[in-house]
Structure 1
Amino acid sequence: MDYEDAGVDISQEEKAIAALVKQIEDIQRKDGYNKINVENHFAGILDAGDFYIAMSTDGVGTKVIIANEMNYYEGIGKDLIAMNVNDIISTGAEPIAFVDYLTFEDPDPYVSEGIGRGLSKAAKESNINILGGETATLSEIVNGFDVAGTCIGVINSEENLTLGDSISTGDKIVGIKSSGIHSNGLTLARKSIKKAGYSYHDEFKKNKKIGEELLEPTRIYVKPVLEALNDCKINGLANITGGGLNNLKRLGEFGYHIQELIEPPQIFDFIQECGDVDKKEMYNVFNMGIGYAVITRETEKVIEICKSSGYEAKVIGEVRKGDYVEIDTVGKI
């Protein structure tokens, strides 16, 4: 099984995005606050004169289906903020504020309360404000519920912009461990598990069900990344979300050579076995244990900062000439 077999056609999705972008790419505000061209980066950037504003929007995908099945929603709230703040920090920005959008087929206070608890905990961990949001009842459109959010961050000066412009061959890639599947690739995961005849309520490992493992919240990388930006020379930052380590390509045209991986959480072996998913496809879809990547030459300092904040990190590869992502044990992805 691959992502397209599971119902996600990435090429068609890219065509749909391109059609939208074609209609809006020339839009530029008059009288300042101009956007900076950061095509395909993790967040949009506005030049505000003395500082810069970063802005990003994201959701949690079909993870909401599993949340419904397990009747547990707090993790979804944390996922929502994590997906956004992890994108924002990838520009060198400090996230400061967030708004959410929650849409229901039939409004359910139990669901919204659980999501709210997760939002609250994640906002405190990320040190951001939640300014409000929008709740809509769309019974003729939505099946169950869906949730999305938007985050803004600030970059205090041009030299603090971290968009990959200073990456050069010989730089090292530090990988920071993920907490699990995070919030990408859930469609392939769900279809693979279904194909193998499992239920989300079946035991995955001692005292933990399959559904509970899939709902493990996305890790928030704000604290170690902001500290590394303050104390080290960082040349590039990548949130390893949908597309896995291919997200490194968003930082510039280089060869990102991965020589030593972080041990992937057990859930990935389980998904691969359930769906008979090719190993290369696994690395094309999932984070495979690496939730975030930092490109730097000050690797020891970055790893120590991560360690002191409770994050496992290590050098996983280096930047070379070319235009590819290659993993020694997998090949080019």
Structure 2
Amino acid sequence: MRIISDSMIHEFGDRLLNIHPSLLPLHAGKMDLAVHADVIQNNEEFTGCTLHVVSKEVDNGRIVMQSQCRVHDYDTPIQLKRKVQELEADCILNYVKIFSTFNIGYSLDVGEASKFVGGLRNMIPTIGGFCSINDGIGTSTDGVGSKMEIANKYNNYENIGVDLVAMCVNDLLVCGVRPTLFLDYIAVDRMDTEKCKKVVDSIYRGCKIAKCMLVGGETAEMRHIFFKDKMDISGFAVGTVVHKLPRMEEMDDKCVLYGLPSNGLHANGFTLIHQLLKNNQYDVGELLKPTKIYMELLDLPVRCNVLGAAHITGGGFSNIARIIPPTLDYNITEQWEFPRVFKWVQEMSGLSREDMLNTFNCGIGVVLVSTHIDDRLIKEFKLIKLGRLNVKLQNKC
């Protein structure tokens, strides 16, 4: 028997299970025939097995399921072992059958993230926007989150670098900043030239779409931090301001919300996607479609009265609150049809429409705030009308 390391317990949490040949907490810490010999010596009427979550303390994790059988006078330790081993097999199968009928429960903790950012604002009052702007220069940084884990699992890195560039430059574009420079950071458990080249190639392709230069980066081997074959990436983008966005002082309750379509899931919500794929199948190519880079945001403010733009990433449509004045609120009134991949996520996860909108882009990658956009531009940019701004009620939290 091997004692599981603390790092593995931390990595897998409640997903790491062990089967023990006794009715825990009886005979905790003992193994094999020693357990069954004690059962006979103690004249116990019943014995059995326990399926439990692995914890740092041996045989002390939360009990998930137990099965039992009667102990007879004629049983020997070896006979008991055989009986309990049969119980163990049935217990594991029963657990799998029960577990497979559940929708995966998913706890959304958007509030905790907001609390963290709120605490940072006390230290750095200027944070909270999509990027930082100083002396006409915009800067942003981001990663691809748990989407990287899906790319790792399926050894598919063709578009993950485009995602990285998009997550960074879209945060510039919604602030009226034209991307000019990009740097990347790649962390791996150990150097894999072929894998890293695929990632850098896709980063370069993303930079071409964003019309910015890939000027450098860093690659780090971190064997004591990452598990085998794991990788993570992050990026940093710089640009020059060409439009003043958002213009909160011009917003009022007559403003309308419009959506620019997304290219799929983009790069948020993948912690849930990773869980769903354990018990369900979906087109991985569809899940890994690259995040759209919204270069049209440099053109739209010239052609219509765009007062603000919100990048719909982590936290979903709550990102709209980051670009409107504190006296106003947003109201999503339209019930557009979710694209197919979001319908699948909602069905498999059991999330409500409200939770979906607070987690995923649901087919809308950027939300625009405008006084009015004419039908010709709505058609050209495939805009979707979403709702409007309204005056925030005094007693509304």
Which TM-score tier does this pair reach, normalised by the shorter chain?
0.7 to 0.9
Distance 2:193 2:303 in 1: 44
Deviation string 1:51-106 (CA, Å, 9 cap, x unpaired) is x1111110000111111122110211000000111110111111111100100001
Secondary structure of 2:225's counterpart equals coil
* 1:296 has 2:296 as partner: no
SS at structure 2 position matched to 1:236:
strand
On the 8 A contact 1:177/1:262 being kept in 2, the answer is no
Task: Give the structure 2 partner of residue 86 of structure 1.
Answer: 170
User: Which residue is 2:308 aligned to?
Assistant: 236
Task: Write the mapping of 1:68-83 to structure 2, written as runs, cut at 5 A.
Answer: 68-83=152-167
* Greater length-normalized contact order (CA 8 Å, ≥ 6 residues apart): 1
Q: Which secondary structure does the structure 1 equivalent of 2:245 belong to?
A: coil
Check the 8 A contact 1:6/1:187 in 2, yes or no: no
Q: Cα deviation per residue 1:131-160 (whole Å; 9 max; x = unaligned)?
A: 10111111111231100001111115xxx3
Contact 2:106 2:349 in 1 (8 A): no
1:104 aligns with 188
What does residue 41 of structure 1 align with? Answer: 129
Q: Please state how far the C-alpha of 1:16 moved relative to its aligned partner.
A: 4.3
Q: Which amino acid aligns with 1:120?
A: Y
C-alpha offsets along residues 274-318 of structure 1, whole Å, 9 cap, x if unaligned?
Answer: 1222222111101111111111124127x62x754xx52122211
Instruction: Give the C-alpha shift of residue 19 in structure 1.
Output: 5.1
Match of 1:245 in 2: 317
Per the alignment, residue 4 of structure 2 pairs with none
| CA distance in structure 2 between the partners assigned to 1:147 and 1:189 by the alignment | 19
1:149/1:261 CA distance change after superposition, 3 Å: farther
On the 8 A contact 2:339/2:362 being kept in 1, the answer is yes
Aligned position for 1:319:
389
Matches within 5 A, 1:1-333: 6=106, 9-18=109-118, 22-23=122-123, 25=124, 37=126, 39-46=127-134, 48=135, 52-143=136-227, 144-156=230-242, 160-165=243-248, 166-194=250-278, 197-198=279-280, 202=281, 204=282, 209=283, 211-222=284-295, 224-252=296-324, 253=326, 254-300=328-374, 304=377, 308=380, 311-322=381-392
Determine the C-alpha separation between the residues in 2 that align with 1:149 and 1:235: 27
Is this contact kept in 1: 2:257–2:389, CA < 8 A? yes
Shift of the 251–77 alpha-carbon distance from structure 1 to 2, 3 Å rule, reads same
Q: Which amino acid aligns with 2:202?
A: G
Counterpart residue type for residue 322 of structure 1: K
Any stretches of 5+ residues in structure 1 without a counterpart?
A: 27-36, 325-331
| TM-score, normalised via structure 2 length | 0.67
Instruction: Tell me how many residue pairs correspond in the alignment.
Output: 290
Quote the Cα distance in structure 2 between the aligned partners of 1:189 and 1:154.
35
Change (3 A) 1:297 1:58: same
Change in CA separation of 1:22 and 1:258 when aligned onto 2, cut-off 3 Å: closer
TM-fit CA distance, 1:10: 3.5
CA distance in 2, matches of 1:265, 1:109: 37
Larger radius of gyration: 2
Q: Which runs of 5+ in 2 are unaligned?
A: 1-101
Per-residue CA shift, 1:157-181, capped at 9, x if unaligned?
xxx3212422222111110111111
Q: Aligned partners of 2:306, 2:106: CA distance in 1, in Å?
A: 37
> Is 1:175–1:262's contact at 8 Å kept on the other side of the alignment?
no
SS in 2 for 1:163: coil
Q: Which moved more, 1:287-296 or 1:274-283?
A: 274-283
Is the CA contact (8 Å cut-off) linking 2:117 and 2:128 kept in structure 1?
A: no
- Partners of 2:385 and 2:166 lie apart in 1 by 23
Worse overlay, 145-154 or 160-169: 160-169
What is the TM-score with the length of structure 1 in the denominator? Answer: 0.79
Bigger drift between 129-138 and 10-19 goes to 10-19
Q: Could you say which residue in structure 1 is the equivalent of 2:7? A: none
CA 1:323 to 1:251, structure 2 compared with 1: closer, same or farther past 3 Å? farther
- Cα pair 1:193 1:271 within 8 Å, conserved: no
For the residues of structure 2 that align with 1:320 and 1:290, how far apart are their CA atoms?
21
TM superposition outliers: structure 1 runs of 4+ over 3 Å: 5-23
Q: What is the deviation of 1:6?
A: 4.4
Give SS of 2:374's match. Answer: helix
Question: Percent identity at matched positions?
Answer: 31
* Inter-partner Cα distance in structure 2 for 1:116 and 1:269: 32
Q: Relative to 1, partners in 2 of residues 1:318 and 1:19: Cα closer, same or farther, differing over 3 Å? A: closer
Residues 103 and 348 of structure 2 are in contact (CA less than 8 Å); yes or no, is this contact kept in structure 1?
Answer: no
